[in-house]
Structure 1
Amino acid sequence: MKKILLLTTVTALLSSCGIYTKYQPETTAPDNLYGEGTAVVDTANLGNVDWRELFTDPRLQELIEQGLQSNTDYLSAQLRVEEAKATLLSAKLAFLPSFSLAPQGTVSSFDKQKAVQAYSLPVTASWELDIFGRMRNAKRQAKALYAQSQDYQQAVRTQLIAGIANTYYTLLMLDEQLSLTQQTEQAWKETVVSARALMEAGQYNEAGVSQMEATYYSVQTSILDLKEQINQVENSLALLLAETPRHYERGTLSAQHFTQDLSVGIPMQMLANRPDVRSAERSLEAAFYGTNQARSAFYPSIVLSGSAGWTNSAGSMIVNPGKFLASAVGSLTQPLFNRGQVIAQYRISKAQQEEARLFFEQALLNAGSEVNDALTACQTSREKTVLFDKQIVSLQKALKSTSLLMEHGTTNYLEVLTARQTLLSAQLSQTANRFTEIQSVISLYQALGGGRE
């Protein structure tokens, strides 16, 4: 009865010291995590959508599937999970006693006397009693690090899916800009031919024609620049897919369609969905158990050990046949002279835990800011699309009118040149704005923890 009371008292004291306390997961998020202007009406979340439902282009789906199979960063992340899993298994096995077989044999002779042969066949065992929680906290810490490695793998997966999608849509944007520029180049070519005809008829001067030709050559230079950019982006895509550079078949920017519903869900989902936020919390959890482990170093460690086996050596006597021999030892180690080092390590662990807490809080704030940035960018791009459409219609009318007036000699080349350049600039800006809209949807999907398995 006294032993039971003693053990109960010791357990209560150890719990109050924090050795056996368990980490309590974070269940709250800062108010207005997504920003004051972002309304949260339900628990729907774009990040919960399967990536195949968001990216419906079949060519892009094939590229993402290929990337998930061959990307070296993602494969390395999977290996890190296996390493952490093995570390966790090692921490679990530390609770079991260790056994080892250490057979020994000697042959000795003194002053040319007959050689004496001695042997021993012992099996030794050692078992540490985890009364003060050192191994238990080490196991919990390893478990948190294992979960963190899984979160890291998911973060790499999300980043890979978003990276391939962004690169693919960049190619679609450049293709569209190249097509517009080539159409403009062809129109300029026809305009230059018409201007030269008017000059030969005495209705135009050499300066005007030369200015139009210079602009025509500038457009041709832009075409070469766009082709070079397309080549560079294709090379970037090849790196993501872990293959040598090649040309990729792809769709068109105008054929891409995305959902208009950009639900961000409740801020609490950020704790469960974002792999980097989860990873930061796993670091906090691991630091928490690291502090517990450092605290347990103030208490003694108890180890039971023993050996059993056959030997023919009993001190200075050699007997044959051998006899059975067994021994058992219990040891208790209490830190005395290295107590200063133990205290220093505990302070280090406490500081690391506080550092991990601050890192987690900052990761959560960064995630909320990314959601707000992506959501605002998408909404702004959609509003600008309406204005660009109206602007292009007006510029097309202006170009048509000035071209007709130039043919009849009632206006000069500068008005036509300005109208065509302004139209091309607006068309290129409209294409870039469409890409920005798609890119912001991808960023929002990534910011909400999309692409999970």
Structure 2
Amino acid sequence: MKKVFHSFLIPLVIVSGLWSSCKVTSPYSKPAISSAPAYRDGNLSDTTNMTGLKWSAVFTDTILNHLILQGLQANFDLKIAIERINEAKANLRMSKAAFLPEVNTNVSVKQSKLAYPQSFGIFDNSTQYDFGITTAWEIDVWGKLSSVKRASLAELLASDAAKRAIQTQLIANIANYYYDLLTLDEQLAVTQKTALNRKADAEAIQLLFESSVLNGVAVVQSEANYYEADLAIPDIEQKIKETEHALSVLLARAPGKIERTSLHQQKLNYDLKPGIPAQLLANRPDVQQAEYVFRAAFERTNVAKTNFYPALTITAAGGFSSLTLKEWINSAGLFANIAGGLTQPIFNRGINKAKLTTAQSQQNQALYNFELSLLKASQEVSDALAVYQSATQKADKRQKQLSALTKAVSFNKELLNYSKNTNYTDVLTAEQNLLTAELKGINDQSQKLHAVVNLYRALGGGWK
């Protein structure tokens, strides 16, 4: 038995070694990334080290940090991403198990009625007891199983990167919604204050009309001016509730009120400057995910290539067989066999060629998607920096504008009290310009906060 086994196995191993020296699959190489700056007009800068900071160090508002922590613990998108990681881990375990032989056991009892001796029509009952173990082992001659394992590993890494991408996006969304609420709160306060002031103005205009200082047109205009501001309040309150509801969903809780601080309490600790090298964008989880998806597609192409070559399989079986139960498991009923086989596809209706073409196309798609993810990352960084710079440049000028408009409103109101020639339209125009400037000033401050959040996410921060 040993001689038969060795005489069969040794040539098989030699043939396998010769075959394995013929390389069918290709080694993976990472796609090249440009070293050019990702910002359109920027030079290299070291001011973007915020990427390596934990989110709790970037956001200084304790209530915001508490909301982010709630989201990371309860958000359903994040939970789904974690389950996808578990699924990918199971697939990787299956791909590793493919390297091991498959072993099965069987126990059977067979009852037969046989003609004995043959042709005489005399029947004899026969019972056969069998117990055996079978095994089958596919030898990874062409690297097919190795490619499947590497593809499964890449898919696992892609799932993990996808989870981190969802986490960074979740943190950014929570922060942006929070800042939206602070912005709306400030806009509501300014609008309510404006409505109160215009109501007082309307009452003052009515007194001036009764004193024959102003005509009835001024009274009607002042009332319309008050209602314009007062009618804007319900719209802002509606937006506040909608934003609270959207943030509640991210936190995996029923729509409700969100606790928060104020816009004026927010602090920015970073002086953002252009000049983000493209290599840094490779730290983004979504870019990493795209690269792992390309790697998995590359390995699937390798698998498709091996389908054109013969598959080598070793099978073996052994066990006991007997016609009587008491002699079932003994040396007399022992049997064993081993066999090796080659399966070479000759004609399969062009399926293997179609599989290879499909795999190559999917690989190209994954490569283009990776390159596109880098471009989108560059755009998002550029947009965030541009918004931040624009809001910063407007800050000083906006304060000067507010100061001038406040004086204009005050001066025009004073003139109404002392001159019949003063046109109330001038007061209306000045008040409307002041309200518009105040709301834009709030938006400027909000834009800076959003720019920091979006740049932090665009650079891949938030998953640590």
> Which TM class, normalised by the smaller chain length?
over 0.9
| Correspondence list, 1:233-312, <5 A | 233-262=243-272, 265-271=276-282, 273-312=283-322
Pick closer, same or farther for the CA change 1:43–1:204 going to 2, 3 Å.
closer
> What CA RMSD, in Å, does the superposition of the two structures yield over aligned residues?
2.2
- Verify the 8 A CA contact 2:408 2:430 in the aligned structure 1: yes
Aligned residue in 1 for 2:103: 99
How far off its partner does 1:416 sit? 1.3
- Verify the 8 A CA contact 2:310 2:342 in the aligned structure 1: yes
- Verify the 8 A CA contact 2:37 2:44 in the aligned structure 1: no
**C-alpha separation in 2, matches of 1:182 and 1:348:** 62
SS at match of 2:223: helix
**C-alpha separation in 1, matches of 2:97 and 2:17:** 26
How many residues get paired?
A: 443
- Verify the 8 A CA contact 1:38 1:372 in the aligned structure 2: no
Once structures 1 and 2 are overlaid, which stretch shifts more, 319-328 or 84-93? 319-328
- Verify the 8 A CA contact 1:45 1:448 in the aligned structure 2: no
> Deviation string for 1:102-127 (max 9, x for gaps)?
21122344699675322211111111
**C-alpha separation in 2, matches of 1:66 and 1:353:** 38
Query: What residue ranges of structure 1 are gaps of 5+ in the alignment?
Result: none
SS at match of 1:103: strand
- Verify the 8 A CA contact 1:144 1:283 in the aligned structure 2: yes
Pick closer, same or farther for the CA change 1:110–1:131 going to 2, 3 Å.
closer
How far off its partner does 1:412 sit? 2.5
- Verify the 8 A CA contact 1:88 1:146 in the aligned structure 2: yes
Please report the TM-score for the alignment, with normalisation by the length of structure 1.
0.93
| Correspondence list, 1:22-37, <5 A | 22-29=27-34, 31-35=36-40, 37=41
**C-alpha separation in 2, matches of 1:421 and 1:45:** 43
- Verify the 8 A CA contact 1:306 1:329 in the aligned structure 2: yes
Aligned residue in 1 for 2:3: none
Question: Is 2:128 the partner of 1:135?
Answer: no
What is the one-letter code of the residue matched to 1:424? L
> Deviation string for 1:253-293 (max 9, x for gaps)?
1111112322564321211x111111111111111111111
Aligned residue in 1 for 2:118: none
**C-alpha separation in 1, matches of 2:346 and 2:49:** 56
**C-alpha separation in 2, matches of 1:8 and 1:84:** 32
**C-alpha separation in 2, matches of 1:366 and 1:400:** 49
| Correspondence list, 1:4-403, <5 A | 10-14=19-23, 17=24, 19=25, 21-29=26-34, 31-35=36-40, 37-42=41-46, 44-109=48-113, 115-262=125-272, 265-271=276-282, 273-312=283-322, 321-322=327-328, 323-338=333-348, 340-403=350-413
**C-alpha separation in 2, matches of 1:235 and 1:7:** 64
**C-alpha separation in 2, matches of 1:384 and 1:195:** 35
What is the one-letter code of the residue matched to 1:359? N
How far off its partner does 1:451 sit? 0.3
How far off its partner does 1:5 sit? 9.2
**C-alpha separation in 2, matches of 1:319 and 1:414:** 113
SS at match of 1:276: helix
How far off its partner does 1:344 sit? 2.2
> Deviation string for 1:144-179 (max 9, x for gaps)?
000000010011101100000010000000000000
**C-alpha separation in 2, matches of 1:34 and 1:107:** 81
Query: What residue ranges of structure 2 are gaps of 5+ in the alignment?
Result: 1-9, 116-121
> Deviation string for 1:358-411 (max 9, x for gaps)?
111111111111111111111111111121111001101111111111111252
- Percent identity at matched positions? 35
Aligned residue in 2 for 1:447: 458
- Verify the 8 A CA contact 2:59 2:65 in the aligned structure 1: yes
